[in-house]
Amino acid sequence: MKTTCLIADDEPLARDLLVGYVGNLEDLDLKGVCNNAMETFAFLQRQPVQLLFLDIQMPKITGLDLIRSLHERPSIIITTAYREFAADGFELEVLDYLVKPISFDRFLKSVSRFYHYNTREAAPEVNTFDKAYMYCKVNRELVRIYLKDILYIESIKDYVRIVTGAQQYVTYQRIGYMEEKLPSDKFLRVHKSFIVSVEHIDSYNADTVTVGGHPLPLGRNYRDAFRKLLST
């Protein structure tokens, strides 16, 4: 299912840029474009969306004031030319803060953060796991990866390699962040550089875990948690 989104910005060029960016991502469904905060507020009362791209400096009512007025908020990505408002935005628990001019790469990273943030909510229960997925930025595209297909994740400095049965994906992300977002009953950190899918474990011994035919190291600091999970 596509993610519904709304763009709110009083600058025509900025609006058009975001409309184009959203149009390049098939999993985003743009429901509307608003010119000011009042119009945005009224739109959200009629038709809630999941993701809001919101400018701060708009006439009469600012984007920050709009956020404060919303009782039920979508995930919000702020778009603005002013860096000094970043602290205020994050105090209001916005998802991300994009400074204009916004590059497509930075836009992709922000949307990817939305999908990562929602991954844990997408599949907390066993009966929904087969349908759960995450999005990762790979070569200037957002790629959907189903969690059930992941064999293991390997840390490569500032990147991770996500290995599935069919192929591999390299994306700019910390392995610690991946560990936080993946369901802990399905994925387990077995080494400082590796997270494995519990369902795809073939065998293990004191030092090695074999996952989907791939032998991986089992770190000393992770052995107790590993054995405890497998014994339950």
**Residue ranges of domains in the chain:** 3-102, 125-231
Half-sphere exposure of 105 (CA within 13 A, CB side): 5
Angle at 127 between CA 124 and CA 130, to 5 degrees: 85
pLDDT tens, position by position, 141-171: 778 888 999 999 999 988 999 999 999 999 8
Do 34 and 6 contact (CB within 8 A), yes or no? Answer: yes
Looking at residue 124, what is its pLDDT?
A: 42
Residues 6+ apart with CB under 8 A from 124: 183
Looking at residue 37, what is its pLDDT?
A: 93
Looking at residue 54, what is its pLDDT?
A: 94
Q: What is the dihedral of CA 19, 21, 22, 27, to 10 degrees?
A: 160
Please check the confidence at residue 178 and state whether its pLDDT lies above 50. Answer: yes
φ, ψ dihedrals at 64, nearest 5°: -65, -40
Two tokens, residue 20: 């184009």
Q: Which CATH architecture has domain 3-102?
A: 3-Layer(aba) Sandwich (3.40)
Please check the confidence at residue 91 and state whether its pLDDT lies above 80. Answer: no
Summarize the confidence of residues 89-106 as an average pLDDT: 83
Summarize the confidence of residues 85-107 as an average pLDDT: 79
Summarize the confidence of residues 12-20 as an average pLDDT: 93
Do 171 and 156 contact (CB within 8 A), yes or no? Answer: no
Would you call 73 helix, strand, or coil by DSSP?
Answer: coil
Local confidence band at 190 (pLDDT 50, 70, 90 cut-offs): very high
Output the CA–CA distances (angstroms, integers) from residue 201 to 56, 95, 127, 156, 211, in the order listed: 48, 34, 20, 22, 4
Q: Find how far residue 202's CA is from the centre of its chain.
A: 29
pLDDT tens, position by position, 23-44: 988 889 999 999 999 999 999 9
Looking at residue 32, what is its pLDDT?
A: 97
This prediction's pTM: 0.59
Q: Which CATH architecture has domain 125-231?
A: Beta Barrel (2.40)
Summarize the confidence of residues 108-123 as an average pLDDT: 72
Please check the confidence at residue 184 and state whether its pLDDT lies above 50. Answer: yes
Local confidence band at 123 (pLDDT 50, 70, 90 cut-offs): very low
Please check the confidence at residue 197 and state whether its pLDDT lies above 60. Answer: yes
Do 7 and 13 contact (CB within 8 A), yes or no? Answer: no
Summarize the confidence of residues 199-211 as an average pLDDT: 92
